[in-house]
Structure 1
Amino acid sequence: MPELPEVQALAERMAAACAGRVLERVDVLSIPALKTFDPPVQALTGRAVDAVTRHGKFLDLATDGGPHLVVHLARAGWVHPRASFPAKPPSRRGPLALRLVLDDGSGFDLTEQGTTKRLAAYVVTEPGQVPGIARLGVDALAATPEQLAALAAGARQRLKTFLTDQSVLAGIGNAYSDEILHVARLSPYALAASLDAGRLARLHAAIGRELGGALEQLRAVPIEGLKSEKKADLAVHGRAGEPCPVCGDTVRSVNFADSSLQYCPTCQTGGRVLADRRLSRLLK
Structure 2
Amino acid sequence: MPELPEVEALREFLTGHAVGRRVTRALPVAFHVLKTYDPPLSAVEGGTVTAVARHGKFLDLTIDTAGGVTDGPLHLVVHLARAGWLRWQDAPPAAPPRPGKGPLALRVLLEGSPDSPDSPGPGFDLTEAGTQKRLAVHCVRDPAEVPGVARLGPDPLAPSFDGAAFAALLAGEHRRIKGVLRDQGVLAGVGNAYSDEILHAARMSPFKLADTLTEAETAGLYEALTGTLREAVARSRGVAAGRLKAEKKTGLRVHGRAGQPCPVCGDTIREVSYSDSALQYCPTCQTGGRPLADRRLSRLLK
* TM-score (normalizing by structure 2): 0.91
Question: Which of the numbers 43, 58, 66 marks the counterpart of 2:73?
Answer: 66
Contact 2:13–2:238 (CA<8 Å) still a contact in 1? no
Question: Which of the numbers 195, 203, 208 marks the counterpart of 1:185?
Answer: 203
Q: Distance in 1 between matches of 2:147 and 2:126?
A: 21
Query: Any unmatched runs of 5+ in structure 1?
Result: none
Q: Distance in 2 between matches of 1:30 and 1:234?
A: 32
Q: Distance in 2 between matches of 1:141 and 1:168?
A: 14
Q: Distance in 2 between matches of 1:217 and 1:151?
A: 28
Q: Distance in 2 between matches of 1:220 and 1:67?
A: 27
In terms of mean alpha carbon deviation, does 62-71 or 179-188 score higher? 62-71
Given residue 113 of structure 1, which amino acid in structure 2 is its aligned partner? A
2:56 is the alignment partner of 1:56: yes
Aligned to 1:164: 182
Q: Distance in 2 between matches of 1:179 and 1:45?
A: 41
- Aligned-residue sequence identity (percent) comes to 58
Contact 1:141–1:207 (CA<8 Å) still a contact in 2? no
Aligned to 1:238: 256
Contact 1:145–1:204 (CA<8 Å) still a contact in 2? yes
2:220 is the alignment partner of 1:202: yes
- Cα deviation for residue 141 of structure 1 reads 1.9
2:117 is the alignment partner of 1:100: no
Q: Distance in 2 between matches of 1:185 and 1:3?
A: 21
2:126 is the alignment partner of 1:126: no
Given residue 197 of structure 2, which amino acid in structure 1 is its aligned partner? E
Question: Which of the numbers 265, 268, 271 marks the counterpart of 2:283?
Answer: 265
Given residue 32 of structure 1, which amino acid in structure 2 is its aligned partner? H
Question: Which of the numbers 75, 87, 90 marks the counterpart of 2:82?
Answer: 75
Aligned to 1:89: 96
Contact 1:180–1:207 (CA<8 Å) still a contact in 2? yes
Aligned to 1:31: 31
Given residue 81 of structure 2, which amino acid in structure 1 is its aligned partner? A
Q: Distance in 1 between matches of 2:73 and 2:227?
A: 37
- Cα deviation for residue 66 of structure 1 reads 2.1
Contact 2:19–2:52 (CA<8 Å) still a contact in 1? no
Deviations 1:137-185 (A, max 9, x none): 0112223101110000011221100100000000000000000000001
2:133 is the alignment partner of 1:117: yes
Q: Distance in 1 between matches of 2:143 and 2:133?
A: 22
Q: Distance in 1 between matches of 2:73 and 2:106?
A: 19
Deviations 1:178-217 (A, max 9, x none): 0000000100000110111111111110111110000011
Q: Distance in 2 between matches of 1:8 and 1:160?
A: 22
Q: Distance in 1 between matches of 2:20 and 2:170?
A: 43
Deviations 1:44-64 (A, max 9, x none): 110110111100000001112
SS in 1 for 2:149: helix
Query: Any unmatched runs of 5+ in structure 2?
Result: 65-71, 113-120
Contact 1:43–1:66 (CA<8 Å) still a contact in 2? no
Q: Distance in 2 between matches of 1:3 and 1:95?
A: 20
SS in 2 for 1:179: helix
Matches within 5 A, 1:133-148: 133-142=149-158, 143-148=161-166
Deviations 1:49-94 (A, max 9, x none): 0111100000001112321010100011001111122221111121
- Tell me the matched-pair count: 279
In terms of mean alpha carbon deviation, does 57-66 or 128-137 score higher? 57-66
- Cα deviation for residue 220 of structure 1 reads 2.9
Name the Cα RMSD after superposition.
1.0
Q: Distance in 2 between matches of 1:182 and 1:242?
A: 14
Q: Distance in 2 between matches of 1:268 and 1:86?
A: 50
Aligned to 2:69: none
SS in 1 for 2:59: strand
Given residue 100 of structure 1, which amino acid in structure 2 is its aligned partner? V
Given residue 107 of structure 2, which amino acid in structure 1 is its aligned partner? R
Contact 2:77–2:137 (CA<8 Å) still a contact in 1? yes
- Cα deviation for residue 106 of structure 1 reads 0.6
SS in 1 for 2:148: helix
Q: Distance in 1 between matches of 2:241 and 2:210?
A: 35
2:223 is the alignment partner of 1:216: no
Given residue 210 of structure 2, which amino acid in structure 1 is its aligned partner? A
